[in-house]
Chain A
Amino acid sequence: MADYPTKLADLPKEERSVSSGHRLCTGCAAGTIARLIGKAVPDKPLMWVNATCCMEVATTIYPFAAWHIPWIHNAFENAAATASGVRAGLDVLMRKGRIPQQDTEIIAIGGDGGTYDIGIQAISGAIERGHDFVYVCYDNEAYMNTGIQRSGATMHAAWTTTSPAGKAVLGKKEFKKPLLRIVAAHGLEYCATASVSHPLDFVRKVKRAVDVKGPAFVHVIQPCLRGWRFDTSESFQVARLAVESRFFPLYEVYHGYKYVLNYPNPALSKVPVEDYLKNQGRLRHLFRPEKNQEIIDVIQGHVDLEWEKLLELAEFSEKSAIY
């Protein structure tokens, strides 16, 4: 069993992945995600395959690059397929003795657009083929790089520039796609949700994912201050509320089957989802000019339903004798 850091001070001081000097927005947690991934695996050679996204455009504007490790970008929808190729290339060249034997880990990373929507085919294919890599989806619930358009990850009722809150339609009509359950259905050894508000949990999950021989997947929520309309200082608080309100529970799925709930503790009293919604500008139309209790109730109902489903899955796996 790997050693997991128990406090932030235990993490390596050294920056292994992205360096300072990148051009992400002030207060954006995408940079934190990249840094934490690097710190999660201090002892392993790391290569990085980036989908087209904020993290890509903000860290590699020619002729500058803010990366300490071998880094490559291909296009929007194909980070997983590109990672397949890198994996195959490294494996065969090691086998033929043309490069040194190294336990190189490949991180493929994309936003929610590049994962939930346009990239899901390539991800499904790469997981099905069993390539050894870790896919990280940093989910900010819209196409932020192109200016806040709705994606399959955008929550119900949220304003985006393609799901505006008008008189006839109040933001996005559909609900967030259950990404991790879709990924878990492939039966891969390990996948998990994480949040920037729980960095040690995230680090542990990245480490766990890296240790898997084969594909692993980490889905991390990353509130976007520009798209969600909150102050630059609030990324982590908003993320924490996403978890505590059970809107974005943190859990792991082993072998596509065994569900383990991490946060929030089901024994704690429920934080109403309204607490999570009320400080986000993208949901302002639910509170002003007057409160739209009906939609808030719909969102709460959906959260409760998903939560029940998750508890059931966790309880079922606990009872199951298979694992």
Chain B
Amino acid sequence: MAKAKTLGMMGDFAVAEAAKLCNPDVIAAYPITPQTIIVERLSEFVAEGELDCEYICVESEHSAMSACFGASAAGARVFTASASQGLALMVEIVYIVASARFPVVMAIADRALSGPINIHCDHSDAMLARDSGWIMLFTEDCQEAYDTTIQSFKIAEDKRVSLPVMPCLDGFVLTHSIEPVTTLPIDDEETLDGFLPIRDPLYKLDIEAPIAQGLLALPEFFMEIKRGQQEAHLKSIDVIKDVIQDFGDRWGRYYPVVEPYRMDDAEVAVITIGSATGTARVAVDVLREEGKKVGLVKLRCFRPFPEKDLQAALKNVQAIGVCDRAISFGATGPAYADVAGALYGRGPLLKNFIIGLGGKDITIDTFRTIYDKLYADLAKGEVEERVEWIGIRE
């Protein structure tokens, strides 16, 4: 019997270890900070003979996603990783892969988009691909990044889903931070003890059964195809939950699509995405010590948007602050808009906080400020300033 090992790992290493465990057949690799270590590490596995795959050093991220498309069409299990400008460059094909329903897995080491150029974390890169049709899972720590990468293949290849999945981990905060990561104790590496069988594609490029893929769809059919993608997304939430349950039952770690923290009697709640959640948990504990009834909701699954789970988690609070590490200029943060849509007509005060753009520090004080502002609005009974930027020079 194999045994789980707990090792110190950077987030990028954790993702590479997890991807390796899933036996991808083809990896398309192109360097970009802070993702580079993922593909570097995978190239070492290939060089050492520990991973049998075709490792393609493409000449751009656009070609990375294009090669993923081709390899997935051939029936292979495919992995790549990107960030920031890389994701921006490939986004044309990111949409096409989703429309083709190819179960590609791409880890995103979230990093700000230029300009100005910046290598540090925010979620503007992932949000650029928000409407592309990929399933998007954000992670809080390196262990979750490891586990989510493995879950991503299982979700993507489930025939009820057949959609690409983007496990996201915060650039530098996770990618370059060493944390203890417990690996899976796997005996049968070919199928991960039955959790992840060898890919069995719905359709593939097959000499014996030729089909054409990537056809031109004009107005008679285009909207129907888009509706199909939407149906697949809406249905995928149940599969995602099943996979989370199965994974947890096997290995003891559960990651709900929406995770409430100290929400039972909370009056005021904050919603976070990604690594800021860890800091927010500490802030909640500190404020609870001070007698404030504050809670936290971690939004792990961003696409499909877990509307019902969010409604349930937030049903008793009076004021909510949605923290976005991205901004849709001229409007609000993207998560705020989705949460507002989910809670429309349900009552609580709702406020948007823009935090941590381009790697701006998110500290316990950041959340203290956020909770204070929510309490102040609650006392007034209304939200005066709907979108507030926290921690910037005035």
Contacts and interface: CB of A to CB of B under 8 A. Distances in A.
B10 interface: no
Contact of A71 (B53, B57, B76, B212): B212
A85 B210 contact: no
Contacts of A82: 66-67, 69-70
Interface stretch (A55-63, A195-203, A255-263): A55-63
Contacts of A95: 52
B70 A72 contact: yes
Contacts of B54: 88-89, 91-92
A75 B100 CA distance: 12
Q: Is the interface of B mostly helix, strand, loop or mixed?
A: mixed
B66 A81 contact: yes
A80 B52 CA distance: 24
B200 to A, nearest CB: 10
A96 B75 contact: no
Contacts of B210: 67-71
A61 B215 contact: yes
A78 interface: yes
A88 B71 contact: yes
B205 A62 contact: no
B68 A72 contact: no
Contacts of A69: 207, 210
Nearest to B25: A92
Contact of A85 (B56, B206, B213): B56
Contacts of B75: 89, 93, 98-99
Contact of A63 (B56, B63, B221): B221
A288 B213 CA distance: 47
A74 B69 contact: yes
Interface in A89-143: 89-93, 95-96, 98-99, 102, 104, 121-122, 124-126, 128-129
Interface in B29-63: 52-54, 56-60, 62-63
Interface string B134-171: 00000000000000000000000000000000000000
Contacts of B93: 74-75, 78
A228 B225 CA distance: 37
A28 interface: no
A80 B216 CA distance: 19
Most chain A beta-carbon contacts within 10 A, residue among B92, B212, B216: B212
Contacts of B215: 60-63, 65, 73
Interface residues of A, number: 49
Nearest to B75: A93
B72 interface: yes
Interface in B193-215: 198, 205-207, 210-215
A86 B26 CA distance: 10
B62 A78 contact: yes
A49 interface: yes
Nearest to B222: A62
B96 interface: yes
A85 B71 contact: yes
B14 interface: no
Nearest to A87: B70
B218 interface: yes
B74 interface: yes
Nearest to A66: B212
A88 B62 contact: no
A273 B214 CA distance: 41
B28 interface: yes
Contact of A88 (B56, B63, B198): B56
Closest 9 CB pairs of A and B: A85-B70, A89-B74, A125-B59, A85-B67, A73-B214, A65-B212, A81-B63, A81-B66, A88-B54
28 contacts: A62-B215, A62-B217, A62-B225, A63-B215, A65-B215, A69-B207, A70-B206, A70-B210, A71-B210, A72-B212, A73-B212, A73-B216, A77-B62, A81-B58, A81-B63, A84-B58, A85-B67, A85-B69, A86-B71, A86-B205, A88-B71, A93-B74, A95-B52, A96-B52, A122-B63, A125-B58, A129-B56, A129-B57
Interface of B: 25-26, 28, 52-54, 56-60, 62-63, 66-76, 78, 92-93, 96, 198, 205-207, 210-218, 221, 225
